[in-house]
């Protein structure tokens, strides 16, 4: 079955034996499930944390989209990441991570580093040699994000997973920015994919959720056990919302990419812009790799405005369609200032080391009419 058919049907096939043939999976709100005898859960379910039919439907669909055997849905991207780290890492293990990570992931890793003696090394993974050279005897995991947030750096999943496999190291890819429509890390050799379904997968800015997809049954069984033991599961209502969101993932991503490309080109030719970070531009240092690894270039981009922090404030304050807000991947266009918003957790030094300047602005390009979006940006540039 092709991607756009799976986004609509997988996990949601009409059930005539145990249901009415609903074409949309019902929201099963029951927290517990009755049985006929003590030792047999009659309908296949016991308690809703352990398993829920609506969540199961979503997990089936999410697995299919990443071409994974298994998926697990969590109450947030961070809940998924926490469960994953607690499942595969132990004190004394070493992790290599991309230096331009989602700041919340970095903050989580700091907790594991301080409280559980797990070691983290951050490298610029755009050069696979940096990853290779950081591998130690106790390296257990390589954690990648591509494209990264907010600098849209691209790393070569295939080359890095080959390096990892030689050393028996697992590779996790946070595929939130690309989505499985644009990039399938498991097919490129990665072991595990994580998502914040809050972003493009749900796509409507009305649900916080996360997911893990993988095909290794042994790791899946441990994760499934811990999903129930830790309990950070996605609710039935959110599972329904995300299922609904996935039905248009392919269409939304196409328009996100089209609009983002046009905005990137507009910004690149604008005299008040110093630099644009978008993998679809020829000026992007990993443009060729992005072309090879991704179907298209995604809906997020960043740029440096040729001004100072006061100009940044005026620019952001003059927009009418773009909402000044964190998060990304929804149908509405959002804009934000990483240095004071999403990446405020990092010190100024840490930000500068990876290249996040105070004049950097990140856009999550929505699905509005491109002429309206560009007109809005034009007005904001006129204000500085
Ligand atoms: C938002 C995000 C997360 C965290 O997900 P939440 O759903 O907000 O907990 C992780 N990784 C990336 C790349 C993100 O954008």
Tell me what pLDDT residue 108 has: 98
Average pLDDT over residues 356-360: 95
Tell me what pLDDT residue 163 has: 97
**pLDDT per residue as tens digits for the range 27-58:** 999 999 999 999 888 889 999 999 999 999 99
Nearest CA to ligand 1 atom 4: 77
**pLDDT per residue as tens digits for the range 83-96:** 999 999 999 999 99
Tokens representing 286 are 């990993």
Cβ atoms < 10 Å from Cβ of 180: 29
**pLDDT per residue as tens digits for the range 298-343:** 999 999 999 999 999 999 999 999 999 999 999 999 999 999 999 9
What span, in angstroms and rounded, lies between the C-alpha atoms of 356 and 339? 7
Told to judge if 282 belongs to the known catalytic residues of this protein, a careful annotator would answer no
Contacts of 348 (CB under 8 A, 6+ apart): 339
Q: How far is the CA of 380 from the centre of ligand 1 (A)?
A: 28
Told to judge if 313 belongs to the known catalytic residues of this protein, a careful annotator would answer no
Nearest CA to ligand 1 atom 7: 77
Told to judge if 240 belongs to the known catalytic residues of this protein, a careful annotator would answer no
Enumerate the domain spans of the chain.
3-246, 249-381
Full-model pTM: 0.97
- Select which of 56, 99, 156, 174 is catalytic: 174
Of 62, 74, 78, 109, the residue with max ligand 1 atoms within 8 A of its CB, to mutate for a pocket test, comes to 78
Tokens representing 188 are 């490129």
> Quick check: helix, strand or coil at residue 304?
strand
The greatest distance separating any two alpha carbons of the chain, rounded to the nearest whole angstrom, comes to 74
Of 199, 329, 338, the residue with max ligand 1 atoms within 8 A of its CB, to mutate for a pocket test, comes to 199
**pLDDT per residue as tens digits for the range 202-239:** 999 999 999 999 999 999 999 999 999 999 999 999 99
Told to judge if 181 belongs to the known catalytic residues of this protein, a careful annotator would answer no
Give the least confident one: 43-47, 69-73, 191-195.
43-47
Q: CA angle, corner 56, sides to 2 and 221, nearest 5?
A: 100
Beta strands across the sheet bearing 94-98: 70-74, 210-214, 192-196, 170-174, 139-145, 94-98, 119-123
Tell me what pLDDT residue 17 has: 85
Nearest CA to ligand 1 atom 9: 77
Q: How far is the CA of 225 from the centre of ligand 1 (A)?
A: 23
Nearest CA to ligand 1 atom 8: 77
Q: Decide yes or no: CATH 3.90.1150.10 for domain 249-381.
A: yes
- If you classify domain 3-246 with CATH, what class do you get? alpha beta
């Amino acid at each position: 079955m092709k991607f756009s058919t799976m986004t609509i049907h997988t996990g949601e096939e009409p059930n005539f034996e145990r249901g009415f043939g609903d074409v949309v999976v019902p929201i099963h709100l029951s927290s517990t499930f009755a049985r006929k005898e003590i030792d047999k859960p009659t309908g296949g379910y016991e308690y809703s944390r352990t398993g829920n039919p609506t969540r199961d439907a979503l997990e089936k669909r999410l697995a299919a989209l990443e071409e994974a055997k298994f998926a697990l849905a969590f109450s947030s991207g961070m809940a998924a990441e926490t469960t994953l780290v607690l499942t595969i890492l132990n004190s004394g293990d070493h992790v290599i991570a991309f230096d331009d990570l989602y700041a919340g992931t970095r903050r989580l890793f700091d907790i594991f580093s301080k409280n559980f003696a797990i070691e983290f090394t951050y490298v610029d993974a755009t050069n696979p040699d940096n990853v290779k050279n950081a591998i130690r005897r106790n390296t257990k995991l390589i954690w990648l994000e591509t494209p990264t947030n907010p600098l849209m750096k691209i790393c070569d999943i295939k080359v890095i997973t080959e390096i990892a496999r030689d050393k028996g190291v697992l590779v996790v890819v946070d595929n939130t920015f690309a989505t499985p429509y644009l990039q399938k890390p498991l097919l490129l050799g990665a072991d595990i994919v994580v998502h914040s379904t809050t972003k493009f997968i749900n796509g409507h800015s009305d649900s916080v959720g996360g997911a893990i997809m993988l095909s290794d049954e042994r790791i899946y069984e441990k994760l499934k056990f811990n999903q129930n033991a830790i309990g950070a599961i996605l609710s039935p209502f959110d599972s329904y919302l995300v299922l609904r969101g996935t039905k248009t993932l392919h269409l939304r991503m196409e328009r996100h990419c089209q609009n983002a490309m046009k905005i990137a080109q507009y910004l690149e030719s604008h005299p008040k812009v110093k630099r644009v970070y978008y993998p679809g531009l020829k000026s992007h240092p990993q443009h060729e790799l992005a072309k090879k690894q991704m179907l298209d270039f995604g809906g997020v981009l960043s740029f440096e405005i040729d001004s100072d922090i006061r100009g940044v404030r005026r620019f952001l304050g003059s927009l009418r369609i773009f909402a000044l807000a964190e998060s990304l991947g929804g149908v509405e266009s959002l804009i934000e200032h990483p240095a004071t918003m999403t990446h405020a957790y990092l010190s100024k030094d840490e930000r500068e080391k990876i290249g996040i300047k105070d004049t950097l602005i990140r856009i999550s390009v929505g699905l509005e009419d491109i002429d309206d979006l560009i007109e809005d940006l034009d007005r904001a540039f006129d204000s500085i």
